[in-house]
Amino acid sequence: MNEIAKKQILFVDDEPMVLKGLQRTLRKMRTEWDMAFSSSGKEALDILGQQPIDVIVSDLKMPEMDGMQLLTEVKALHPHVVRIILSGHLEHEMTLKSVQYAHQNLSKPCDAEILKQTLVKLFALRDILADEAVKKIVSQIESLPSLPSIYSEIIEEMHSEDPSLKKVGDIISKDLSMAAKILQVVNSVFFGLSRKISTPQEAVVLLGLETIKALVLSVKIFAEFSQKKFAWFNIDALFSHSMSVSTYAKTIIKNEKLGQDLINHSLMAGLLHDLGKLILATNFQKTYQQVLTAVQGCDRNLWDLEYEAFGTSHAEIGAYLMGLWSLETPIIEAIAFHHCPANSLSQNMGLLTAVHIGNAIDHNGLASTDGNTDLQYDAQYLESLGLADRIPAWRQFCSELT
């Protein structure tokens, strides 16, 4: 392999035996990676200042400067570096606090093949978000939507020493329009609750913080765009489609027993997977209206026409914004690749797979916002994961929700 193509990876751990074990375990990766090893956070920062590094893989629990403090510094000083934290089972609380500083959290000790797959996926995602076409489009946008303050308040409460469900409900209640919309969505057919929910506090207790967090962020974003009047763009239909995709993705993940973390992420990823359409519609009205009109009269994919008009698509633009907001990497990945999952180079079923299938199922069964009602799955991608035979079961699970 060409030396220029090698990735530069820095491993940080205060235990010499761990570093020696990593060197021994990862010896076979020398043809693809140039690896450096550091025994402290300070030494790691010195290395980062002296040579180009693509990835830093740090232990979480270290003296003087722990992994969380180190990655905080790396994020500020070297934002282009991919940040991975390694943690043991007894460090769960610290790991939760590190999610805003690390792109990925892996269990310690980490299997070399899992680490390799993780890095391949992260590099693919980083490359797509660094694409010049995406940056060019974003630079032409007068103002990207900012992270809603009410969402930040809820995150702050969730990370407090004594988080309170009641306080989260109180935060939502302060915004009357937000509270009304949250209750409307919670009481809709998407949640299928047996009784009507009358207060935000009750909704938080019943649905949990992760679900409420996703609803607050998506509802606030859609509400901002809904204030702009576009007769040619059905924002309500887009929100309904997004709710369906999130519900289908969650159902698929639960039935495949992929874990609570992905269940928590599924609502956010599904609700925001088409966020880029809102950005294009409100910032490039004339051009995007022409794209949506063109797709109605042909058998081509919407995102292909978006590439011709903008050099990128709504998927990458939405993922770029989520990256700016530092949402969890699986969510950003699911948004970025939800039409073309094979481009993620993922070798396992995960959130991306569920969102891709949920999106396809809803487009197949319902009239979509872009006129493309015959969207197909990426059959080759599903075949490569050994999942092609699961499609009938997934469709059945989702059909039972309606």
Is the predicted pLDDT of residue 277 greater than 90, yes or no?
Answer: yes
Q: What are φ and ψ of residue 390, in 5° steps?
A: -85, -10
| Residue pair 246/269 in contact by the 8 Å Cβ criterion | yes
- Residue 398: band (very low, low, confident or very high) from pLDDT cuts 50, 70, 90: confident
The length of the chain, given as a count of residues: 402
For residues 251-279, average pLDDT = 91
Is the predicted pLDDT of residue 4 greater than 60, yes or no?
Answer: no
Is the predicted pLDDT of residue 93 greater than 60, yes or no?
Answer: no
Q: Which of 110, 107, 104 is nearest to 56 (CA)?
A: 104
For residues 262-277, average pLDDT = 91
Is the predicted pLDDT of residue 274 greater than 90, yes or no?
Answer: yes
Residue holding tokens 């093949």? 113
Which residue segments constitute the domains of the chain, with CATH numbers given?
3-110 (3.40.50.2300), 138-399 (1.10.3210.10)
Q: What is the pLDDT of residues 348-393, one digit of tens each?
A: 899 999 999 999 988 875 433 444 434 477 888 999 999 988 888 8
Mean pLDDT for all residues in the chain: 82
The pLDDT, as a whole number, for residue 370 is 44
For residues 69-77, average pLDDT = 88
Distance of CA 352 to the CA centre of its chain: 9
Residue holding tokens 């990426």? 378
Q: Can you tell me the distance from the alpha carbon of 351 to that of 272, in angstroms, rounded to the nearest whole number?
A: 13
How is residue 6 written in tokens?
């090698």
Choose the most confident range, by mean pLDDT, from 40-44, 67-71, 167-171: 40-44
Sheet holding 7-12, edge to edge: 33-38, 7-12, 55-59, 82-87, 104-107
Question: Which position has the higher pLDDT, 175 or 339?
Answer: 339
Q: What is the pLDDT of residues 110-160, one digit of tens each?
A: 777 778 777 777 777 777 767 788 878 877 775 566 677 888 888 888 877
Residue holding tokens 């989520």? 322
Confidence (pTM): 0.71
Q: Can you tell me the distance from the alpha carbon of 337 to that of 341, in angstroms, rounded to the nearest whole number?
A: 5
How is residue 340 written in tokens?
């073309």
